[in-house]
Amino acid sequence: MRRAVYPGSFDPITFGHVDLVRRAAVMFDEVVVAVADNPNKKVLFTHDERRDMAVDALKDIPNSRVIVFRGLLANLVEQEDCCAIIRGMRAVSDFEYEFQMALMNRKLSPKAETVFLVPSLRYVYLSSNTIKEVAKHDGKIDDLVPEIVLKHLKEKFGHK
């Protein structure tokens, strides 16, 4: 079984993330979408909310599974017996952080390779942060996030 982990904050999951899971699901037998519960990171949604939205958004990708994780990704890689770590690469600005993280993860967990995937051009400019910013001001994002996410964002920001 070739299993990959796709870690992230997913605060919230967007169609850019879903696009990457679809691509990874073709390459691996199973994709574990790992929602980070990092107490030091300021997030809009709780880890339960982020997990539940991801579960709903990915329900039609049968070889994907969503979990919440705490602590080092390298430990999760061992626990889940993953051979790869999936990360999205959208622009050159992503590179430095991703490069550092990939090398540190390789040091901690040498058997897993980091695999960078590029999302569809339609979603390449998307980030959870810009989605939250637009949603806060009730901007139109219905073609950028799953319906469940749209609903949660409207609730959070008190829009109808």
Q: In the set 3, 4, 5, 9, which binds ligand PNS (CB under 6 A)?
A: 9
Q: How far is the CB of 80 from ligand PNS (least distance, A)?
A: 13
Cβ neighbour number for residue 117 with a 10 Å cutoff: 16
Q: Is 107 a catalytic residue?
A: no
Stretch in the footprint of ligand PNS (CB under 6 A) among 48-56, 60-68, 97-105, 136-144: 97-105
Instruction: Decide: is 64 part of the binding site for ligand PNS (CB under 6 A).
Output: no
Residue in 67, 68, 104, 134 binding ligand PNS, rule: CB under 6 A: 104
Query: How far apart are alpha carbons 66 and 114 in whole angstroms?
Result: 19
41 is catalytic: yes
| Site for ligand PNS contains 73 (CB under 6 A) | yes
Query: Is there a catalytic annotation at residue 51?
Result: no
C-beta separation of 69 from 38 below 8 A: no
105 part of the interface to ligand PNS, by CB under 6 A: yes
Under the criterion CB under 6 A, does residue 101 sit at the interface with ligand PNS? yes
Residue 128 is among the residues annotated as catalytic for this protein: yes
Q: Which residues are catalytic?
A: 17, 41, 90, 128
Question: Which residues sit at the interface with ligand PNS, rule CB under 6 A?
Answer: 7-9, 36, 72-74, 101, 104-105
